[in-house]
Structure 1
Amino acid sequence: MSILAQGAVGQQAGAGVLVRKGPPRLPAPRPAGGFPVDELPASPGAPPKGPVLLGPLDYYLALLSLMNVATNRHRDNQNDEEKDKCKIYSYKDAQKECPDGRSHHIVPDRCWRSPGTRGPKTGKVSLGPMLDSILDEYLPGRGGGYYYADKMDEGKGQCICVSEEKHLAIHKMYDQSEKIVGEKAIPKWTATLDELEAVGAESVSAVTGCDENKIKNTLRSRHENLGLSKDTLLRADPHGQSGLTMQKFVEILSTNSHQKPFR
């Protein structure tokens, strides 16, 4: 059974949380425009008891998958002549390749960087020297940035153009699968690039009908060209609870792998 199938069968509420000792944390500041879709805070609460009722989006996903199979769209539902609707491109070309849609990072941008960060270098959003120092003390996961900054940043991430509706549908499937991979991994909340390429290709294919193997092979080729092998270690933590700052990630790589992140 694939990771995606396991996620559909074994959905659980909530997310893994690392328990830390120390001073109480301040509430995380809400960024202008809200939290990025690809990294929402974990929802508190225990798993629901009894059968889980499907919501409208679940029914939509099930119907979409059935339609894809029924019409044999999994071959490759988008003709290359039709503006390359299944085309994979770098996020830096999003304006040109996807002017009226949403550019979806097939391996999410968050997987390449420390929780709570964004940007090509440190990724740390500055709210002023005084507030920054307070937040850094109580929110250790805030610091850091891209683990392999000279090889991967937001602009180099490989994307596919989808609608807002399909973007949410893909993440609903992908995030649950990433959580399963991260929870089982040693060290916890990590995954190899090869694993996330596979999960990313599977979830995109399930929603769009684009050819899964074509997506996966393209990702592998593009990442290899950037010097990123299939065993490159990434963060697999859809709710940002791992605490894998740059410092902690360096410690993991130094004890578990020959890889070294780049600043």
Structure 2
Amino acid sequence: MEDVLTENPPPSRFFQDDLNNFVQPPESLPSPFIVFSNPKPELPLRPSLLIIAVSSPSLYVFHSLPSKTLLGSLIMPEVPFSGNTMEPSLEDKSCNIYSLSSIDDKNSILLVSVQLPVSPERSNLVSRLLIGQDIIPERVIILDSIQSRNFRGKLSPDETLAAKLETSSEKKATSRVNLDYFPSGSVIDGLSASLLSRCQLKNIRGTLVISWPEFSPSVIRFVGALLKNIVPSLDIASVNKDLEKYSSRTGLKKDAWLDSDLYT
């Protein structure tokens, strides 16, 4: 008599590849693209400096700068426009590209504020659009926040921390961002990592500046001072305005890994 517990089951009528034929393939998302304010811009743009804001403090600083001109927007087809305002707002899910009007063409500076979510699988597509195709910068500064789940060590919410990663060509330059390197064993992922990798691939001077905590007036002041040091002509007088209002909203978003001892 056959042992029903140990006897091999009968073979399936279908191979695994045949079973997949009954599953509808997922629809591919349309590629992101850039819409410029000028219908016929002279492409590619070749700024001397491209600064990309990803973290909330850097987005706040960018939003507060008075002398900037909207050049265009990066569109993610999967991100809806509903809820966005007519004028640029920190509440919008957008990715706007600005130029600093006070800078001449020979030393043009572009600012990119990434206020929309970019999934890891879409990061490379966005990085190609911002670096190396329509925009070919001489130098790139990326501003992002440290995620405590990726940091090897305990992060205090009361302590301001900043570090950097940079490309090979940036390490050879004479003028660089004066910060300690991101500690070994910690991880950077997502859009910021993809942007820095893009700079390395294209042999562009690139620096990723990461700060902690994610929401803090002290980090806003740090970012403002850092940008002032990189671009001395930058007007950051309005950055410190309404910091209390900004700080009061920061409690709405908390880092779930903040109190974890996993990474100590």
What TM bracket, shorter-length normalisation?
A: under 0.3
Structure 1 length-normalised TM: 0.25
Which of the pair is proportionally richer in strand?
Answer: 2
Structure 2 length-normalised TM: 0.25
Which of the pair is proportionally richer in helix?
Answer: 1
